[in-house]
Amino acid sequence: MVLVLLVLVPEGMMLVTGVKSPAMAVLSESMEPAIKKGDMVFVHNMSNEPFREGEVVLFKVDGFEHPIVHRVIKVYEHRDTGEIRILTKGDNNSVDDRFLYASGQLWLQPHDIIGRVAGYLPYAGWPSVFISEAYKMLLNGGSTTTPEVLWV
């Protein structure tokens, strides 16, 4: 019975949220004070609504192992083509995320967005943070440079 639950619950969550792994631990301070390192965020991708400034999204960037959770600070729709462009920024960062995007990329597009953060659970991600930092220390000879979020 327990084995069945371990298989069916994640599959059910994936169907409900539209995201492969709908819960993940935040591994950095870039979204503080709104979302803190060690919080668990819950992501969904079932909304057909347009992206809005102020919402928190999860996106993937080429060259980064883990996705990033940051706030949308600008949404631009090209009048002629209808192309949507999105600019993000961590609440605790002094500049926008263009330095994180792929080389030459100035905006995210909707296909770069994995999902929208629907909520979070404070402190629930700390076990994943500890494991990730211990693993990084082993691999990097003591360095604890961490990615943005860790899939759970």
What residues are annotated to the active site? 30, 70, 97
Tell me which amino acid residue 8 is. Answer: L
Place of tokens 């809005």: 52
Distance CA 86, CA 76 (A): 6
Distance CA 122, CA 84 (A): 32
> 72 forms bridges with which residues in the sheet?
88
Distance CA 150, CA 80 (A): 38
